[in-house]
């Protein structure tokens, strides 16, 4: 190795700049990927919360019948009693 040619400083600087650019691009790509993963998790959590909210509201709607539904049920019971008594 003692007989190897001298290293040109311009070549060394060029290679170092290329290596740093490559590392910076990889870091940027990693950061973008991590942000995409975080965004996806946030979207899933938001969708889950929205689904739970809709389900809770849907459950309330089923538990609390409207006035029209109450009247229809009352009329059905009345009609059934009348049919039994003949």
As for how many domains the chain has, the answer is 1
Asked if the structure places residue 2 within a domain, the reply is no
Asked if the structure places residue 60 within a domain, the reply is yes
Asked if the structure places residue 21 within a domain, the reply is yes
Asked if the structure places residue 34 within a domain, the reply is yes
Asked if the structure places residue 45 within a domain, the reply is yes
Annotate 19-42 with b (16+ C-beta within 10 A) or e (fewer): eeeeeeeeeeeeeeeeeeeeeeee
Asked if the structure places residue 76 within a domain, the reply is yes
User: What's residue 6's pLDDT?
Assistant: 82
Asked if the structure places residue 4 within a domain, the reply is no
Query: pLDDT of 7-66, one tens digit each?
Result: 899 999 999 999 999 999 999 999 999 999 999 999 999 999 988 888 877 766 566 678
Asked if the structure places residue 3 within a domain, the reply is no
The parent domain of residue 44 ranges over 9-85
């Amino acid at each position: 190795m003692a007989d190897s040619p001298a290293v040109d400083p311009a070549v060394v600087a060029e290679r170092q700049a290329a290596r740093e650019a490559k590392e910076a691009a990889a870091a940027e790509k990693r950061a973008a990927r991590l942000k995409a993963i975080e965004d996806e998790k946030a979207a899933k959590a938001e969708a889950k919360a929205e689904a739970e909210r809709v389900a809770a509201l849907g459950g309330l709607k089923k538990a609390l019948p409207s006035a029209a539904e109450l009247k229809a049920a009352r009329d059905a019971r009345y009609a059934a009693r009348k049919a039994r008594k003949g």
